[in-house]
C-alpha cells in the first residue's frame, strides 16, 4: 500500500494510491485514525486493514485523479535522524573526515526543514552559495523501541519514502591548515526547506527488501545519481539499531539513510571533491541555483520533484 497526504483547501487529508487514483480515506470512512499520518501509523494493523478494504472497494465518492490534487509532505516527523557517509561510492568521491566509513555520521534535521512534492527549495546566498542535493531512502518508524536488535529492526518500520537531503556544502565542509577535514553538520544540513519528502510512503508490504532498491537523481533532466541501496555501508536494520541506542524510536520518526555518489560536491576540488566517471551519469557543472528542478526517484516508491527558487525575505519587511 502507498499512502500520502494532500491539500484539500487548507486542510491536509490522507489518501491511498491506486495507480493514477488517490482515494481519500476520511471521505471513504470517518475514523479517528484517518485524520492524519501520525494517527494512522499509531493505529497499526487495524488502520492498515481498514485502508486496504477501502483500496479494494474504490468508493467513487472518495476517488480523485492524482494529477488533480496538490500533494503535501507525507507526514510531519517529530524527529529526523540522519546517517551521513553511508555509501561506499559516495565516500570515494569526496573529502573524508577521520570517521567517514567507520561509523554512521549522526546528525539531525527538524520538522521545520520538511517540504512536500513540488514545494520550493530555497536558495539564499547569505546562507550558502554551494547548495547541493542528495536523494536518499527514508525510513518511517511504525513501532516504538529502544536498544532494538538488528534482527528485529525491520519489524519496527511502517514504511519508506523518498527524501532529498539538501546541503549547504560551504557550511558543512571545513578543512584545517594541516589538511584535516571535519564537518559542521548542524549549519550545513538543517535550514529552511532542507528536506523535501514524498511523494508517498510505501508500506513494508510494498518493499520486500530495502537493500535492493534502485535510486536516481536528475537535475534539469541530467542524470546525476544512479545506484542501489545495496551499496550502503550500514543497512536500514543496522541504522535502526544504531539510532535506537540514543533514542526511543517512536511512530512517525524518520531516519535518512545516506546518499550514493553523484553529488555536486564530487566536482568541487576546493572542498576535496574527487569525481569518479560513471557510465550514463553527467558530472555537475555547478551547485544548484534558482531555476533548477531536482528530481529524486526510488523504484517501488515514486518520484519526488522540487524546484529551486530565490529566497524572498518577507518576514523582516515592515
Rounded Cα distance, 206 and 145, in Å: 23
Considering only residues 176 and 16, tell me which one the structure prediction assigns the higher pLDDT: 16
Rounded Cα distance, 74 and 3, in Å: 8
Count of other CB atoms within 10 angstroms of residue 204? 17
- For the chain, the first-to-last Cα distance in angstroms comes to 48
Q: Do 165 and 195 meet the contact criterion of CB atoms below 8 Å apart?
A: yes
Residue closest to 123 by CA, chosen among 164, 168, 165, 162: 168
Q: Do 159 and 77 meet the contact criterion of CB atoms below 8 Å apart?
A: no
Per the prediction, the chain carries an average pLDDT of 94
- Residue 288 is predicted with a pLDDT of 98
- Torsion sign (Cα): 131, 132, 133, 136: negative
- Residue 314 is predicted with a pLDDT of 66
- What are the residue boundaries of the structural domains of the chain, listed by start? 2-72, 80-310
Count of other CB atoms within 10 angstroms of residue 115? 21
- Residue 91 is predicted with a pLDDT of 80
pLDDT band at residue 184 using 50, 70 and 90 as cut-offs: confident
* Angle at CA of residue 223, ends 189 and 164, nearest 5°: 25
- Return the percentage of the chain with pLDDT > 90, whole number: 84
CATH code that applies to domain 80-310: 3.90.850.10
pLDDT band at residue 19 using 50, 70 and 90 as cut-offs: very high
- Residue 313 is predicted with a pLDDT of 79
Residue 79 burial (10 A CB sphere; 0-12, 13-18, 19+): middle
For the chain, the C-alpha Rg in angstroms (whole number) is 19
Residue closest to 224 by CA, chosen among 297, 300, 117, 116: 297
pLDDT band at residue 315 using 50, 70 and 90 as cut-offs: low
- Residue 192 is predicted with a pLDDT of 96
- Residue 149 is predicted with a pLDDT of 98
What is the reported pTM? Answer: 0.95
The pLDDT tens digits for 240-287 are: 999 999 999 999 999 999 999 999 999 998 888 989 898 899 999 999
The pLDDT tens digits for 97-148 are: 666 667 888 999 999 999 999 999 999 999 999 999 999 999 999 999 999 9
- Return the percentage of the chain with pLDDT > 70, whole number: 96
The pLDDT tens digits for 60-95 are: 999 999 999 999 999 999 999 999 889 988 888 876
- Residue 92 is predicted with a pLDDT of 81
Count of other CB atoms within 10 angstroms of residue 164? 27
Amino acid at each position: 500500500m502507498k499512502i500520502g497526504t494532500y491539500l484539500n483547501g487548507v486542510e491536509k487529508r490522507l489518501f491511498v494510491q491506486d495507480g493514477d487514483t488517490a482515494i481519500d480515506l476520511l471521505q471513504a470512512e470517518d475514523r479517528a485514525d484517518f485524520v492524519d499520518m501520525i494517527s494512522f501509523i499509531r493505529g497499526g494493523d487495524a488502520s492498515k486493514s481498514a485502508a486496504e478494504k477501502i483500496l479494494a472497494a474504490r468508493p467513487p465518492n472518495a476517488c480523485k485523479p492524482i494529477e488533480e490534487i496538490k500533494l503535501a509532505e507525507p507526514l510531519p516527523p517529530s524527529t529526523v535522524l540522519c546517517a551521513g557517509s553511508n555509501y561506499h561510492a559516495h565516500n570515494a568521491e569526496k573529502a573524508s573526515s577521520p570517521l567517514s566509513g567507520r561509523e554512521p555520521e549522526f546528525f539531525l534535521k527538524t520538522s521545520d526543514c520538511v517540504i512536500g512534492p513540488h514545494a520550493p527549495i530555497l536558495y539564499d546566498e547569505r546562507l550558502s552559495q554551494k547548495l547541493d542535493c542528495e536523494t536518499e531512502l527514508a525510513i518511517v518508524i511504525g513501532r516504538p523501541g529502544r536498544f532494538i536488535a538488528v534482527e528485529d529492526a525491520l519489524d519496527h518500520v511502517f514504511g519508506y519514502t523518498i527524501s532529498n537531503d539538501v546541503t549547504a556544502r560551504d557550511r558543512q565542509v571545513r578543512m584545517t591548515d594541516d589538511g584535516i577535514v571535519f564537518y559542521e553538520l548542524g549549519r550545513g544540513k538543517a535550514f529552511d526547506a532542507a528536506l523535501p519528502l514524498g511523494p508517498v510512503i510505501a508500506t513494508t508490504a510494498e518493499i520486500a527488501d530495502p537493500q535492493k532498491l534502485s535510486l536516481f537523481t536528475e537535475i534539469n533532466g541530467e542524470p546525476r545519481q544512479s545506484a542501489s541501496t545495496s551499496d550502503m555501508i550500514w543497512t536500514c536494520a543496522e541504522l535502526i539499531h544504531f539510532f535506537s541506542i540514543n533514542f526511543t524510536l517512536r511512530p512517525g520518526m524518520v531516519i535518512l539513510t545516506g546518499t550514493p555518489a553523484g553529488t555536486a560536491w564530487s566536482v568541487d576540488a576546493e572542498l576535496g571533491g574527487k569525481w569518479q566517471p560513471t557510465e550514463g551519469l553527467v558530472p555537475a557543472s555547478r551547485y544548484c541555483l534558482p531555476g533548477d528542478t531536482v528530481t529524486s526517484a526510488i523504484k517501488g516508491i515514486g518520484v519526488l520533484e522540487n524546484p529551486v527558487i530565490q529566497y524572498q525575505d518577507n518576514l523582516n519587511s515592515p
